[in-house]
Amino acid sequence: MHSRNTLRVSPEVIEGLDPIDRRICEVLIRLGEIEVVGIEEEHSNFERGCAH
């Protein structure tokens, strides 16, 4: 189930965070507030959003 406010990030973004920030992200992922997506999917969604 996706909420309208779900933040979609790539795994590389999370890997680049400080340990404390990464821990916060892990909790938010479990709560469903953040969705980790692959680079290809992220780009296609970005392009689709810009096309409208």
Confidence at residue 46, expressed as pLDDT on a 0 to 100 scale = 54
Q: What are phi and psi of 15, to 5 degrees?
A: -65, -30
Predicted structure pTM score = 0.59
> Which residue's entry shows tokens 């973004």?
13
State residue 6's pLDDT score. 87
The string of pLDDT tens digits covering residues 1-52 is: 555 688 899 999 988 999 999 999 999 999 999 999 886 654 555 555 555 4
| pLDDT confidence of residue 1 | 54
- Terminal alpha carbon distance of the chain: 24
